[in-house]
Structure 1
Amino acid sequence: MEKKDKELLKEEQNVKGNQMVLGDFHSILEEGKVWKTGGFTLPDGSFWAYREPEAVVIVRNDTLYVRAKLSRENHQVQILDNAKHMYYSAEPVVIPEAGEISFELQIRSRTQGTAPGDLYDGYVSLNLLDFTTGAALDFFAGNDKYASVYGILPFPGVQVPESKGTKYFCIFKEDTDFKPREFNTYRITYHRGNDEAVFYLNGKEVRRERNIPIKFNNFTVALGIMTEKDLSPEGSVSVHGQTVIAEWSPVKITTTEQ
């Protein structure tokens, strides 16, 4: 191949983007190889693990299946109470300085014993977490409703950059226009240069966030079983015997430099 042809090919690849697949669920028990147990190190040096002790984990046909009767609670810290069983990508995905990065997968969520119409009583998640800034871009899928989520959060041990606006926030947008209890395709894109994030469901744009106040640097990809119930004065109220059944496909990650 001539030098000119090689340069044209390189330019074409930069425009079209590079692709990788984050899956390899057959290695899910090999802690830190591709995935690791989610959680946070606490001020006393202990680790709060997002792991349900009685969870059933199955890998087949390149799909990760987890069934868990919820039991984990934290009575002091909201973020520690929310996630019940979660896997983090072993390494964060670096965000390109210019261009767009996209994360796409299929999720199926089925629950037992959750309150009808109450997404936050138990759901399945895709979380893109930037532990250098506190950023989170998420999809939450429940039995009969889903939500897109955009926030800057006080993750334990994370220093959030100062901004002129509200330092910590989390904006949820719920909808029922999806295939309940079936596989749906979820995609989140982020453009660092444009300070913009876009959420897609089954190929349709469902949300666009412009003027994001800080630059995100990298995303740890998280797959989770979660609740979102505000702590009461007495502590956690998120567990009452409900079960969440989660299924995830591998995550297709596409970067476009131009």
Structure 2
Amino acid sequence: IAIVLQHEEQRCQYLSRQAKLMLAIQDEVASMSDSDGSQSPFHHILPKCKLATDLKKAYDSLCTTGVMRLHINNWLEVSFCLPHKIHQIGSHYIPPNAIERSLKAIRPYHALLLLDDEKVLLTQLPVDCSPALVRVIKTSSATKNIQQLAQDADLALLQVFQLAAHLVYWGKAIIIYPLCENNFYMLSPDANISTYSPLADQFAQQFPGNDILTVLSKFSLPTSLSQFKNPLAPPMQEAQLVQMMIWMLQHRLLIQLHTYVCLLVPAGGG
């Protein structure tokens, strides 16, 4: 914000004009306070001063969502995020160092899962954003690994890694293993399974005729995607079940289970 304000001050004295406006309103309120009692100049400044409105918006946004996006002087964009505010599972915040480690651990066999609808995410991008980022967003799929994503988007794998890390850092995506029928999933211990949870209403709107608690009950025990799907169901219903899986992963309701093999060399070497 300071850098942008310095630029606008040199270009059109924006900071000086806004500061004079604030001081004038403060003096006006001070003179009114002598006769009408004490009044706060803050509420009088906000409707008349764009900079004051922007600074308040920045503070409120960082305190609530952890993400700030402003257009100073209705022109230059400033964006910033607090990773520890936007990355959380249930009531548990993920520390920044854990986020950094996870970004370095992205591999070609992972998949990029967008947390917002593609159209919504595209509207949130800056006007001058990288065209490569737009291509990654439009090409990404929960069933496609990052190497295939790079090929489909016609981008270098390293560039896709960087763009994927950027989306994860800003809380717009998470890294998962590509959806396949052999993957096993289970209800997350941090999942909000209350009947009156806001997620229950969102799920009902997204998938009419389906109850989120009924669907989640199928994952009380480890369940594979092939077990979740009905082999006799028509293709349209099968596609909807896959979308349900994606939705539940987006909202951190499910976790994937992994099997690891550990080979131990006998102590005697024989």
Q: Same fold (TM over 0.5)?
A: no
Max Rg structure: 2
**Greater per-residue strand proportion:** 1
Q: Which has the higher contact order (CA 8 A, sep 6+)?
A: 1
What TM-score does the superposition give when structure 1 sets the normalisation length?
0.23
**Greater per-residue helix proportion:** 2
What TM-score does the superposition give when structure 2 sets the normalisation length?
0.22
